């Protein structure tokens, strides 16, 4: 198993809850759609900047079937779950020139108002890990808060 897969497996185990609220939903929120991503201000870690790795620009596209989520951002396929308490977890990775790029979106869904006055939103944190095969620099690892509004 590669380090990228181990990282995703560990993150998945840490992010999912064992209580009833952490159970996959049966009456799931309708969070599918296209979302515009906005990240909190901050500088990129030096290891990320030196590799040219930044925050995904979006949009974040999501589909839902029951409690299962699929989606994509910047060509990276994502999959995960939505839970009974409206929290969600999306994981994705892709191999790049012998290295890897891993993304994890962990957050909460807030439905929009029925009158259309406010749009549905996702809030949470993104964790990104990037390694390049043969690179002399440390692996890139960044965590950033985000808000995503349904378009």
CATH class for the region spanning 3-15+32-150: mainly beta
Catalogue the E-assigned strands of 3-119: 33-39, 60-65, 68-73, 76-82, 87-96, 99-110
Element (H, E) at 18: none
Structure token pair of residue 55: 């925050």
pTM of the model: 0.82
CB 91 within 8 A of CB 78: yes
Of 145, 139, 92, 143, residue with least CA distance to 122? 145
Number of H helices, E strands in the chain: 2, 8
Give the pLDDT of the chain (151 residues) as one tens digit per residue. 444 444 444 444 444 444 455 678 889 998 999 999 999 999 999 999 988 899 999 899 999 999 999 999 999 999 999 999 999 999 999 987 778 999 999 999 998 777 766 789 999 999 999 998 877 777 999 999 999 999 9
């Amino acid at each position: 198993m590669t380090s990228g897969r181990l990282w995703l497996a560990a993150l998945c185990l840490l992010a999912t809850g064992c209580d009833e609220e952490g159970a996959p939903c049966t009456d799931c929120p309708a969070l599918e759609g296209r979302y515009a991503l906005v990240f909190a201000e901050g500088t990129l870690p030096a290891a990320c900047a030196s590799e040219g790795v930044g925050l995904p620009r979006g949009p974040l596209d999501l589909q839902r079937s029951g409690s299962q989520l699929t989606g994509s951002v910047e060509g990276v396929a994502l999959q995960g779950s939505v839970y009974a308490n409206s929290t969600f977890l999306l994981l994705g990775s892709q191999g790049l020139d012998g290295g890897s790029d891993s993304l994890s979106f962990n957050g909460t869904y807030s439905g929009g108002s029925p009158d259309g006055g406010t749009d549905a939103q996702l809030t949470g944190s993104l964790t990104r890990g990037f390694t390049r095969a043969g690179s002399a620099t440390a692996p890139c690892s960044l965590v950033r808060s985000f808000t995503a509004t349904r378009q």
